[in-house]
Amino acid sequence: MSHGLYVSFWLPTVVLGAALAIKLPSILKLWRDPLLRAVGGLLVFACAVFVFAAPKTIAWTNRVTGVPNIAAPWVYSLLTALSASWLLLIIAWRNGRTERSAQTRRATRWVVSVYAGVVVALWVLFALADVPVEQIRDLDTYYANTPFMREEILLYLLAHTVACSVTARLVWNWSRTEGLDAWLRWGLRFLGAGYVTNLLFSAAKLTAVGARWTGHDLDWLNTDIAPSAACIAATLVAVGFIVPHAGQYLQERWRIRRRHRSLKPLSRLMRNVTGAREPFDLRATPELRLIRRETFIRDALLQLARHLDDDLRARSYDAGVALGFERGRAQALAAAVTLLDAVEARGRALRHPAPSEPPEAARTASPVSPVSLADPSGSSGHTARSGLSGSPGLSASPGLSGSPGPSGPSGPSGSSRPDTTYLLREIQAVSRVLRHPVDIQAVRTHAAAPAESLSTHE
């Protein structure tokens, strides 16, 4: 036994163990699901095969039991159970909880009965065989011509080959199905490659045993090629189970973190409105951090309601389209211009309160006042919030049509309530364009030109 071969037996065990650890929570939570039970059984048997097939474990088993080569039927039984779990997994995959449940149960019973019978036959044949000389690595070829042991070796290899052939064909067919998730498709490809490599294991074993029957010596296929193929196959199968779960998990984590980062410019701008930062907790999950940032931004936008100017947003949208921006980006740029203008207007209102405003209101309208955090006007906050939900009769974005919309111009001096539907719904798009101040300034300048001309004429 070479040291490298010994290490190779434990490498797939570690990878299979990782796959089992990833799947275990789902298996335990949804134990009644036949598909998850099949996956759990497959991974458990796969791990057991490589644990007990390791040369040192084989020697330990023989020594502890005191029976030479008793590790052979034990490992063969585990490998047969693993082969059965492949077929059970395919049955659960193909049929699932469909109207073919009766057919599924019949197929499951058939597989369990046949492969349980194979396991029983393996132990009976071993009891009848005469195998006194312990063989750690080359038992299959050493006893290839021994009565009953010969049949045992052939039986487990045929059971393994049949299960592997059926599973490989069905998995490859499924991997070419239209509409599969990309991560699931890659997982199936790894599984298919693993089962095809398992066929190489069986072919190497059968060829080496057949060579012994004809008086030739191809034992190197049994001692070198077959174990290597088994290790590679097990690793590929384990990766096939890991890829869909880990890939989807990492993709979702990346999507959430990217959304969280993309909202940073808008969150930073909203600090000028609230005078505070969003809640932060190192122990919070990425999902919770995203929800807190989105809530913080929307609450701050509600406080800007009375300072938003829909007419400016309509003119800014027209300016963006005139400057060559596509409609979606022009809409986001128009919203950003309106938002920046509202922040500035609110700042001016806080610094220079209107003459009609009582001194008490002016004193409470400071950035750190609890009242100002709820409503910049110093009122109860109900008016500001009621005007931000958007009227069902209004367009989601007046700027899309290039006109102020049915409500007409609005803003600090307008009588209509600003439409904030787009701002509240598309905070991601607005935050992204805040990273491009040059574009915002170009739209702002272009949108201001007609207003200046109108003011001069009047």
For residue 343, give the amino acid letter.
V
| pLDDT band per the 50, 70, 90 thresholds, residue 118 | very high
Report if pTM > 0.95: no
Backbone angles phi, psi at 448, to 5 degrees: -80, -25
Measured distance CA(375)–CA(388) in Å, rounded: 12
Report the Cα–Cα distance between both ends of the chain, in Å, rounded.
98
Q: What angle do CA 244, 249, 254 make, to 5 degrees?
A: 125
pLDDT at 370 over 70: no
pLDDT of residue 202: 92
User: What is the gyration radius of the CA atoms in the chain, in angstroms?
Assistant: 35
| pLDDT band per the 50, 70, 90 thresholds, residue 22 | confident
* Buried b / exposed e along 410-421 (16+ C-beta atoms within 10 A): bbeebebbbbbb
Q: What angle do CA 10, 200, 127 make, to 5 degrees?
A: 70
If you average pLDDT over residues 358-379, what whole number do you get? Answer: 38
Tokens in use for 99?
């109207």
Measured distance CA(109)–CA(273) in Å, rounded: 68
- Summarize pLDDT for 311-339 with one digit per residue, the tens: 888 899 999 999 999 999 999 999 889 88
- Summarize pLDDT for 123-155 with one digit per residue, the tens: 999 999 999 999 988 899 999 999 999 999 999
- Summarize pLDDT for 408-422 with one digit per residue, the tens: 334 444 445 666 677
Residue the block writes with tokens 């065989």: 129
Measured distance CA(346)–CA(307) in Å, rounded: 6
Q: Which residue intervals of 304-412 are DSSP H helices? A: 310-322, 327-351, 359-364, 370-374, 382-386
Length of the chain: 458
Q: How far is CA 142 from CA 41, 60, 165, 183, in A?
A: 32, 20, 27, 44
Tokens in use for 421?
């539907």
